[in-house]
Structure 1
Amino acid sequence: MKADPQYAPEHLALEAVRGLGPEAAEWAARTRAERPGITPDELAALAVRHFTTLARLSGAISGVAGLPGAVVDVGVLAWTQARMVLHIAAAYDADPSAGERATDLLVLQKVHKVAGTARTALGVAAGRERAGRLFSDRQGGTVIKLSLRLAQMAGVRAARKVFAKVVPGAGVILGTWVNSAATKDLAKRSRQHFRNG
């Protein structure tokens, strides 16, 4: 992602499906075995509670750490939210390891408005991953570009929300609130998307 910050959300979505999809499928199967009769809505609610708590925690930590923490938290939040979406997909019996989940991640996280555009961007990012092994791309300001693209993916739409986390004395509360609100909003869209198939 650092070498190609323009497509950071696409790289994250591809890696999330590859690396986290199997984890989400195993979680859903294990939870169903432990709780026979659990409904997809109840299973999804468990995932939402767990990952919203993780998002709040990372927001609080970023509030304590100041600006460097806020920048790092954007990536942590995007990854946490990707995990949540894949767990919700598994709760509704959508294969969290299927390539289409990367498209779902980008549309649900409002990186792209429609699936077709997301698929095209994923194809470009996948091509750049392969090309990146052959060529080195060193650009100035990549950390800033990467942070802004991941902030968009994590639902932190306005820079003021990121920088609200560094307000002295209020960073912990604001960081917790910003992450929680963005994650709950994504959870609502994800549950509706996977419930409706």
Structure 2
Amino acid sequence: MNETAIPVTETLAPPGTLWSRMKSDPQYAPEHLALEAVRRLGPEAARWAERCRVNNPGITCDALAELAVKRFTTLARISGSASGASGLPGAVLDVGVLAWTQSRMVLHVAAAYGHDPVAPERATELLMLQRVHKAAEPARVALGVAAGRDRASRLFTETTARPLTGVMLKLAVRLRHMAGVRAARRAWVHSAATRDLAVRSRLWFRTA
């Protein structure tokens, strides 16, 4: 099988603009991440799935999804380990990279099963599959709130100063919830959480 590799790009970690939004609005960090993932990572997933199908006629959806799962489970195992950061900032960076990697996996799995990875509903499904929200309607409402806050922040530059430690703690909690990890950084924890998400994602997009 050729031309199935997923390229390593600059999107391995969340972009700086996303980190800024999440730090300014930590309560809705998962929603900001989901929206940005669909915008930035969805097109990559679509191109990958299309290229694989062109170069490998007859490849099954399950085979494509398995390629994505293997690739991103490996990346999840090493996510954050090379950042060099320690303490609370390191923990936040670690779990943020993991949540971003997991979102990338989900979008590639969606593309493998023929779902448009850039469609708005992918953000809703990301939040449900990552168990940030239990149902679609609360997820949509939260995404709408996050998008509205982002638009407002672009209009009004004044922000209320908040203790950085408190912001980082809240951000760490929200991102850990999204990534499905509760312990400190451990490769096996990252892999296990990502494998669990992969199982849910494959079942969801296979039967959706």
Query: How far 1:188 moved relative to its partner?
Result: 0.2
Secondary structure of 1:38 counterpart: coil
| Pick aligned residue for 1:107 from 120, 128, 131 | 128
CA RMSD of aligned residues (A): 1.5
Query: How far 1:29 moved relative to its partner?
Result: 0.5
TM-score (norm 2): 0.83
CA gap of 1:137–1:44, structure 2 versus 1, over 3 A, is: farther
Cα distance in 2 for partners of 1:155, 1:74 equals 9
Alignment of structure 1 residues 116-131 onto 2, 5 Å = 116-131=137-152
Detail structure 1 runs of 4+ shifted over 6 Å in the superposition: none
Aligned twin of 1:169: none
Contact 2:29 2:174 in 1 (8 A): yes
Cα distance in 1 for partners of 2:106, 2:147 equals 21
Does 2:192 correspond to 1:181? yes
State the one-letter code of the partner of 2:169.
Answer: I
Give the unaligned 5+ runs of structure 2.
Answer: 1-21
| Pick aligned residue for 2:111 from 90, 97, 100 | 90
Contact 2:99 2:179 in 1 (8 A): yes
Contact 2:38 2:123 in 1 (8 A): yes
Contact 1:10 1:122 in 2 (8 A): yes
Contact 1:106 1:118 in 2 (8 A): yes
Cα distance in 2 for partners of 1:138, 1:38 equals 53
Secondary structure of 1:96 counterpart: coil
| Pick aligned residue for 2:43 from 22, 47, 61 | 22
Contact 1:4 1:137 in 2 (8 A): no
Contact 2:80 2:95 in 1 (8 A): no
Secondary structure of 1:98 counterpart: coil
Cα distance in 1 for partners of 2:121, 2:161 equals 31
Aligned twin of 1:149: 174
Aligned twin of 1:190: 201
- Percent of pairs identical after alignment? 66
Q: What is the number of residues matched between the two proteins? A: 182
Query: How far 1:65 moved relative to its partner?
Result: 5.7
Secondary structure of 1:184 counterpart: helix
User: Could you tell which deviates more after superposition, 128-137 or 97-106?
Assistant: 128-137
State the one-letter code of the partner of 1:148.
Answer: V
Aligned twin of 1:43: 64
Contact 1:3 1:137 in 2 (8 A): no
Higher RCO by CA contacts (8 Å cutoff, separation 6 or greater): 1
Give the unaligned 5+ runs of structure 1.
Answer: 166-174
Contact 1:59 1:178 in 2 (8 A): no
Contact 2:23 2:171 in 1 (8 A): yes
Contact 2:80 2:97 in 1 (8 A): no
Cα distance in 2 for partners of 1:66, 1:8 equals 21
CA gap of 1:137–1:23, structure 2 versus 1, over 3 A, is: farther
